[in-house]
Homo-oligomer: A and B are copies of this chain.
Amino acid sequence: MNSHPCAKCISRIHCMELAFELTQLDSFSAGVIRTNKVNAGDRIYRNGDRMTHLYFIRRGYVKVELLQPNGRHQVNQFSMPGDLLGLDGIAEQRHLLDATALSDGEVCAIDFNALTDTKTSKHHIHTILQSKMSRALYQTQEHLFSLANHNSEQKLAYFLITFQARLHKLQLQLNTIKLPMNREDLTSYLGMTSETLSRAFGNLEKGQYIQVKNRMISHVDYNKLSHMLEIDKNNHPINFFAKISSPTLSLMSGS
């Protein structure tokens, strides 16, 4: 009888949400999934590493960034429990990004070849992987949208909203968010300098959107934050009916 590394995992609930059904997970031997403890600052994988495993975050936070040879870097994602890392490496069989733990935590390393091997895995696993990748793709494109279209306060507002939404899915809704990342990582993610970020925090606080105490964000008014993203640059509320043209309307009645 194999040991089941997931049998006593406190993240089973997240795994289920992930569609990694328990039956599926339990069918893997301990050789396929291995749980590792990580400390803040530990590199989980780095650019150039052979892609042998995917990583499932069980506990803690991880940043995923693109490091350029000239020393510049770009934080592309802040990952949290329930997220699957390493998908970027599938195409080239090598990781192209760097993943670093932001806090102490636990990460399940999943042997990629065993996972996708027809003999040992069920067809279902491919569907799950496809779905995860498709979702990751869309998430990145929303990030792209924010960088291209928002000003500094809107970027920060958008980040706070989506970060909270992800925590919410983990049933971690608290009225206070503790950000796992420092200001520098956040500036990279949001595409601004730390001074501008600091002022953006200050302005949101002045406007009664949030309350800031270092990495603790409290009294977050999500409705007000969302509203801010619907306002155009001249502070005119957007007129929906003027914007949505007839073809789209006909499409809606059609389906």
Contacts and interface: CB of A to CB of B under 8 A. Distances in A.
Which of A90, A144, A240 has the most B CB atoms < 10 Å from its CB? A144
Contact of A230 (B70, B143, B148, B248): B70
Nearest to A188: B148
Interface residues of A, number: 56
A147 B71 contact: no
Nearest to A124: B118
Contact of A137 (B74, B87, B127, B251): B87
Interface string A227-255: 00010000000101001100010011001
Nearest to A237: B70
* Chain A residues touching B, majority SS: helix
A135 interface: yes
Contacts of A46: 248, 251
A116 interface: yes
Which 7 interchain pairs have the tightest Cβ spacing?
A148-B191, A71-B243, A90-B134, A91-B134, A74-B145, A91-B135, A133-B133
